[in-house]
Amino acid sequence: MRHLLSTRDLLRDDAIGLLDIAEDMSEVQNREVKKLPTLRGKTVVNLFFEDSTRTRTSFEVAAKRLSADVINFSAKGSSVSKGESLKDTAQTLAAMGADGVVIRHSASGAPQVLAQSGWIDAGVVNAGDGTHEHPTQALLDAFTMRRRIHGDAARGRDLDGVSVMIVGDVLHSRVARSNLWLLETLGAHVTFVAPATLVPVGASTWPADIRYDLDAALAEVRPDVVMLLRIQQERMNAAFFPTTREYARQWGLDDERLLALRPDSIVMHPGPMNRGLEISSRAADSAQSTVIEQVANGVSIRMAVLYSLLSGDREARS
Amino acid sequence: MTTTLITGATLPDGTTTDLLIADGVIAERGAGLSGPAGARVLDAAGLVALPGLVDLHTHLREPGFEQSETVLSGTRAAAAGGFTAVFAMANTMPVSDTAGVVEQVQALGDAAGYATVRPIGAVTVGLGGERLSEIGAMANSRAGVRVFSDDGKCVHDSLLMRRALEYVKTFDGVVAQHAQDPRLTENAQMNEGALSSELGLKGWPAVAEESIIARDVLLAKHVGARLHICHLSTAGSVDVVRWAKARGIEVTAEVTPHHLLLTEELIRSYDARYKVNPPLRRDEDVRALREGLVDGTIDIVATDHAPHPEESKDCEWDHASFGMVGLESALSVVQAAMVDTGLFDWADVARVLSQTPAQIGRLEGHTHSFEIGASANLVLVDPASSSTFSVDRLAGKSHNSPYLGMTLPGSVRHTFHRGYPTVLDGSVLSASEVAAAATAAGVARG
Amino acid sequence: MARIVLQNSDITRALTRISHEILESNRGADDLVILGIPTRGVILAERIGAQIRQIEASAPVDLVGSLDVTMYRDDLAHHPTRAPQRTRVPAGGIDGKTVVLVDDVLYSGRTIRAALDAIGDLGRPRAVRLAVLVDRGHRELPIRADFVGKNLPSSTDERINVRLSEIDGSEEVSIDLATGAGA
């Protein structure tokens, strides 16, 4: 793999390969010495045009556990916020000898533009671009599901037949898109549940069922996994739905809906959560919730991705 | 002035003839002509002679955005593409909303000499969409403006649009509407559909174009005015215009070469060269636009030549500017989309790229026939050639062409503007040569 | 043409001898951990472990593990990305134990260097020993095997192929000219 830009083009074997490497990385996390010398002498740049302390920290920990040098280059307070172009930033990072660039950007496609630009030769990891994709989030979600479902026998397995319900702002969610493509590749079945204003135009052509009524969907599908998407503050004022109260009542995973789930269903959320809006506190803190595991698994997945992109001979992969 | 003898050219109707160009006009026509001593002789065997192309929709960028294009460089691009007249859009800085600005643009065009430049006047002051600009002053100026447009912005206020349609009637003018509902397209990036949803780019719904066209044809009917719709891009727009024409509404419509050939699938690369307003649409839209052009629902092809400097395209998709250069590639693209597909013959090409745009724009003195005595505006095209479209085909200042690297048919061999050459053997003549010829032609005409 | 240097029976004999030598030098099977280096080292380690349990009934059941050294290699940047393999340490860990590393061929010594680093991150053994089926020479680091099946002086142009029935379907060690070398 040269870059990780989306899950849509990820082949099944490559995806499972990454999940398996993440299993190895996760075992390292349980050792006394949590660090591997693998990427010694490599430089990873976290290029964040959008604030995200969680994702940036997760990549930073992952890179450091592999002994890479990490440079955090965030837009706020840097030349980037003063109008420096992506091109100039990329060329600057190239001149500093970056081997990998982890990029978070509000513009969809910015990581792909960077990867195919020729401005920089580094491996590019998409850490979330606009409303396009967030591939490492989808990988860590798939990893989390695979572990909960297959336990110690997870290695080499896919998610064949697993039913995943993704609830909320699908329209603006890069997490939903990346999850959809990856889950389809791994054999899972996806149902989106959202108010019609938050379902993307043309989503009927996607490999997912689309439902509006959460209670009916939960009762009929009885999903293995319920994943709640975060409602962004700015959507609340943009007339996609009348009020947050109405949203929580119709599409929030409240206590009642939690109790109605199968006892072995798992509850996921990419974080940060709006407790009381898309998910109740009881649901977030229940034994069925994987919210904390997702964070821990994020480090393992990102180690696996950085390892796959940066450890080998770059020439041999192009 | 030099005399030129063109031998063995194929006219749009398929007949073959020699043409003698002298004193700015077609002096003789027929087989076996011989020119006077010292005449330039061009062997046009295998070449198609078309009347000089007329672009009703060009952005020359001057005054104000000379880093992208100037009147000189833009008309040089026009000549390279076989155009002998261009209508210059009003979104300059200052905006072409006064007699002074439109006269300046026209004068720059006359001095350059590569093509006849006809300025388009803004409908509203500063393209602000609030007050009518001094349409009468522009119409009565030396530039004689007949086409008015806020292109780049839509005249979205219904009352203002009604007034504009009525008011331009006074001057035999036409409003060229850029149909785009602003609220439905806030921050829109590409055609709205399954692909925009997948790519995470904000959707630009077809209805944002179609609803404005529907409103405007009804307004035009109500006030009995002429209306021209810029760059139709959707199948629905074709339906609406077809409906309007069937009811006798005086509406004309244009389509760009790129909307006849390219689809939104190209945007998967996030390469901002494909970012354009209106956006590239689906395959079925391309098919409907071609059909509309064939059945006359769409009257003309216009380039919407929109030059931008490199930095406006060499960036994230969301941050890139809208627009493509199109003058140099238009004829090849129309050949690829319409002629080579069997939908059009060369007479149709002459109609949609020369005669009809000249009529809509009330372009005087720019005859589009090969009759003896007609002003010698013509282009000789080699339709049999085929080549990879590269930057050396671009004669303007900017290189934001979506066709770079594509194989396209046809090439412009020679262009004549008012009897003097602007392109010979595929090469654009130098600015000084053309300017001198233009001055001479002006003197000769008295 | 490949030349067979160890046959099925030779391999079995060599492993039996190594098993005895390990027990001899460790004075029994107490506090012994056998770690194979993937891929073929793991199979050899399992065979040695089985032999040791046969010889010493008191040997612990969970005696054999695997140690993947991919993440510790110094030549990662010179090859396409390698998929790492499983590391599994026996339940008792390695602290204070005698760890016997097992690999199929000892050549430059770099794999063993990586393995020593990997062990250092897993714990602190009392001692680390090295057992290999074939030692072909050409060391690039000061590393030496404690238990050797066969010393096989070779030229760097040659390739040593170890085939084990569990994964290769047959059982032999052969030597041939590396592809690309020679003609």
pLDDT in tens, B54-110: 999 999 999 999 999 999 999 999 999 999 999 999 999 999 999 999 999 999 999
Q: Which of A1, A21, A316 sits opposite C84 (nearest CB)?
A: A21
Residue B257 has pLDDT above 50, yes or no: yes
Residue A236 has pLDDT above 80, yes or no: no
State how far the alpha carbon of A160 is from the alpha carbons of A183, B124, B312, in Å.
9, 61, 46
Distance in Å, alpha carbon of C86 to nearest chain A alpha carbon: 7
Q: How confident is the model at residue A314 (pLDDT cuts 50, 70, 90)?
A: low
End-to-end CA distance of chain C: 13
Number of domains present in the structure of chain C: 1
Residue A318 has pLDDT above 70, yes or no: no
Residue C98 has pLDDT above 50, yes or no: yes
List, for residues C30-70, the tens digit of each pLDDT value.
999 999 999 999 999 999 999 999 999 888 889 999 999 99
**Mean pLDDT, chain C, as a whole number?**
92
Residue A185 has pLDDT above 60, yes or no: yes
C and B touch per CB criterion (3+ pairs under 8 A):
no
List, for residues C104-114, the tens digit of each pLDDT value.
999 999 999 99
Q: How confident is the model at residue A317 (pLDDT cuts 50, 70, 90)?
A: very low
Among A286-290, B271-275, B438-442, the minimum mean pLDDT is found in B438-442
State how far the alpha carbon of B59 is from the alpha carbons of B71, B78, C81, in Å.
9, 11, 51
Contacts for B8 with CB less than 8 Å, ≥ 6 apart = B16, B17, B18, B43, B44, B45, B46
Contacts for C160 with CB less than 8 Å, ≥ 6 apart = C105, C107, C134, C136, C152, C154, C173, C174, C175
Say what the pLDDT of residue B3 is.
93
Q: How confident is the model at residue C181 (pLDDT cuts 50, 70, 90)?
A: very low
Contacts for B419 with CB less than 8 Å, ≥ 6 apart = B1, B4, B21, B22, B23, B24, B25, B375, B376, B441
Q: How far apart are CA B326 and CA B328, in angstroms?
A: 6
* B142 in contact with chain A, both atoms CB, cutoff 8 A: no
Q: How confident is the model at residue C179 (pLDDT cuts 50, 70, 90)?
A: low
**Mean pLDDT, chain B, as a whole number?**
96
Q: How confident is the model at residue A315 (pLDDT cuts 50, 70, 90)?
A: low
Is C132 inside any structural domain? Answer: yes
Is C182 inside any structural domain? Answer: no
Give the mean model confidence (pLDDT) for residues A94-106: 95
Residue A192 has pLDDT above 60, yes or no: yes
List, for residues C135-163, the tens digit of each pLDDT value.
999 999 999 999 999 999 999 999 999 99
Extended strands (E) in C111-182: 127-135, 147-151, 158-163, 172-177
Is C178 inside any structural domain? Answer: no
Extended strands (E) in B344-446: 378-388, 407-417, 420-424, 427-428
Residue A81 has pLDDT above 60, yes or no: no
* A107 in contact with chain B, both atoms CB, cutoff 8 A: yes
C and A touch per CB criterion (3+ pairs under 8 A):
yes
Better-predicted residue by pLDDT, B446 or B154: B154
Task: Please give the ipTM for the structure prediction.
Answer: 0.93
* B415 in contact with chain A, both atoms CB, cutoff 8 A: no
Instruction: Give me the CATH number covering residue C37.
Output: 3.40.50.2020
Q: Which domains does chain A have, with CATH numbers?
A: 12-133+296-317 (3.40.50.1370), 135-290 (3.40.50.1370)
* B279 in contact with chain A, both atoms CB, cutoff 8 A: no
3-state secondary structure of B190: strand
Instruction: Give the angle subtended at the CA of A301 by the CAs of A47 and A296, to the nearest 5°.
Output: 100
Strands B407-417, B420-424: pairing is antiparallel
* A56 in contact with chain B, both atoms CB, cutoff 8 A: no
Contacts for A242 with CB less than 8 Å, ≥ 6 apart = none
Say what the pLDDT of residue B263 is.
98
Q: For residue A150, give the nearest of A177, A196, A186, A98 by alpha carbon.
A: A186
Is C163 inside any structural domain? Answer: no
3-state secondary structure of B57: strand
- Asked if B319's CB is within 8 angstroms of A108's CB, the reply is no
Q: Which domain holds residue C30?
A: 9-73+84-156
List, for residues B298-308, the tens digit of each pLDDT value.
999 999 999 99
Is C162 inside any structural domain? Answer: no
List, for residues B420-445, the tens digit of each pLDDT value.
999 999 999 999 999 999 999 886 55
- Asked if A116's CB is within 8 angstroms of B269's CB, the reply is yes
Q: How far apart are CA B312 and CA C17, in angstroms?
A: 74
Q: Give the residue extent of every domain in chain B.
A: 51-360
Pick the CATH number of B51-360 from 2.60.40.420, 3.40.50.1370, 3.40.190.10, 3.20.20.140: 3.20.20.140
pTM above threshold 0.90: yes
Contacts for C120 with CB less than 8 Å, ≥ 6 apart = A33
Contact (Cβ atoms closer than 8 angstroms) between residue B303 and residue B403: no
Sign of the torsion angle spanned by Cα atoms B197, B200, B202, B206: negative
Catalytic, out of B304, B314, B318, B348: B304
- Whether B304 is catalytic is yes
